[in-house]
Every structure is written in C-alpha cells, then in structure tokens.
C-alpha cells in the first residue's frame, strides 16, 4: 500500500495510523470551494477532510516503516515541509477507490 500511495500521490507525505486503519495524505491548508463540496460526499465513504482547526499527531521523521503493531508511521515519508500531496491527486485516488468499491456502478 505504501508504494501505491507514493506513486499515486506523487510522493507527497502520507501518515499511516494502523491502530484505526487510517491514512492521512498531507495537503495544503487551503481547499477550493468546489472540492469542499465534493468532500462532503466523501463522508459516506468514511473519508474525512481535516480542516484548519484540526490537530493531527504525526510520527517521528524516522518512523518510516511499520515496526510496531499500533504505532503510526510515514507510509510515504515527508521529504520537505514544502512538498505535499496535491488535492487533485488525493481526489482522484478517492474517486478510484469509490469506483472499485461500488457494488453497482452506473454504466
């Protein structure tokens, strides 16, 4: 999964929290209004966009692989604070996941 996320999200940083089976793609703080409207629909898929007032604990920078059963780690390590996942790449990944998990896709 780590390799898939690195390739799909262009190398932007992703935190894995195995305790709650969650992945967090780090993106810029601003979100265009059109994407904000789409993100409301993602809630049904158990996808949540954390806003500016949210706090996310991140692992140590050297925690780059799953060493402990419940410890968070960098699924895709952060190379620089300026290199983040693009919103478009994250949206495409969510759309692809939705399409793959939809039991009755529309033609």
Q: How many residues does the chain have?
A: 107
Mean pLDDT of the chain: 84
pLDDT of 73 strictly over 60: yes
Q: How far apart are CA 81 and CA 40, in angstroms?
A: 27
- Condensed to tens digits (0 to 9), the pLDDT of residues 43-69 reads 877 888 887 788 898 999 889 887 767
pLDDT of 26 strictly over 90: yes
Q: Average pLDDT in the 34-47 region?
A: 76
String of b and e for 88-99 (b: at least 16 CB within 10 Å)?
Answer: ebbbebbeeeee
pTM higher than 0.85 = no
- State whether residue 35 is helix, strand or coil: helix
Token pair of 62 as six digits:
């050297």
Name the percent of the chain lying above pLDDT 70. 88
């Amino acid at each position: 999964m780590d390799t898939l996320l690195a390739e799909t999200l262009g190398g932007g940083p992703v935190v894995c929290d195995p305790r709650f089976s969650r992945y967090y793609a780090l993106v810029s703080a601003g979100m265009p209004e059109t994407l904000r409207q789409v993100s409301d629909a993602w809630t049904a898929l158990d996808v949540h966009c954390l806003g500016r007032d949210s706090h996310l604990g991140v692992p140590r920078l050297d925690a780059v692989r799953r060493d402990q059963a419940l410890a968070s780690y960098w699924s895709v390590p952060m190379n620089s604070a300026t290199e983040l996942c693009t919103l478009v790449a994250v949206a495409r990944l969510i759309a692809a996941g939705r399409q793959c998990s939809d039991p009755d896709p529309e033609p």
